[in-house]
Amino acid sequence: MAVTIKTLRERKQNGEKFAMLTAYDATFARAISDAGIETMLIGDSLGNVLQGHDSTLPVTIDDMVYHTASVARGNQGAFVIADMPFMSYGTPENAMDNAARLMRAGAHMVKLEGTDWMADTIARLANRAVPVCAHLGLTPQFVNKFGGFRVQGRGDEQADQMVAHAKQLDEAGADLFVLECVPAPLAKRITEAVSAPVVGIGAGPDTDGQVLVMHDMLGISPGKPPRFVKNFLAENGSIQEAFEAYGAAVRERHFPADEHTFQS
């Protein structure tokens, strides 16, 4: 049976965890969905892992449409989310046009990075049958504003502000959240404060789901892996077994462990 927004909301309500992995082509989309991973993200991280850039900023909407269509052709029932790349949703009108392209390519939902300024765009998309995932915390498209890749939401003022933004976007119609690189106590607060399911990456064990970049969890990304990454291929005999082990570890609450978590 295909995974839908209703499926994910029921998981949240029942306290059942779900898993997400990035996917960029039909072959891996087939393997990931066959492994029972509930959700797949065509991330603009393809700029890093496929195109060799040092950020996601060079990725275009044409790139995202191409890879979304590829993933959709290989998918076997997972819920498919497509990133809207840098400046593809700078205005609500821009967002409408580009979200329509991604949905026509096979996405079930689009993902946007940002805070309270996205509320109007999210509401407009939601009212026009486009489900939206709101990405808070470390938002890679804002790397030049942040001055690097840093944990977000440290300190009471920043934490309170992020909770307020999450509530505002939840009320605007966001159907899913991604929290990236935020302290675990803050991620727990946000997960409990919003009605939509929350997926964490470097956000501790208390979110409703977990996401990793596929190349990271297979241990094939160059350089030192981020703290929140676990190499699932290292202890399994094949890529397919690694995908299955990751899904099981999330659902059984074995991942993330303390060593993958930021506490403050």
Query: Which residues form the catalytic set?
Result: 180
Going by the annotation, the residues of the binding site for Mg(2+) are 44, 83, 113
Q: Nearest Cα to 202, choosing from 212, 192, 215?
A: 212
Contact 136, 166 (CB under 8 A): yes
Going by the annotation, the residues of the binding site for 3-methyl-2-oxobutanoate are 44-45, 83, 111
Going by the annotation, the residues of the binding site are 44-45, 83, 111, 113
Q: Nearest Cα to 40, choosing from 24, 51, 60?
A: 24
242's CB contacts (< 8 A; 6+ apart) are: 217, 218, 232, 233, 236
Q: How many CB atoms lie within 10 A of CB 117?
A: 9
In the beta sheet, which residues pair with residue 19?
A: 210
Residue indicated by tokens 């808070």: 136
Could you tell me where the DSSP H helices lie in the chain?
5-14, 26-34, 46-49, 61-74, 92-105, 119-127, 143-146, 156-172, 184-193, 214-217, 239-251
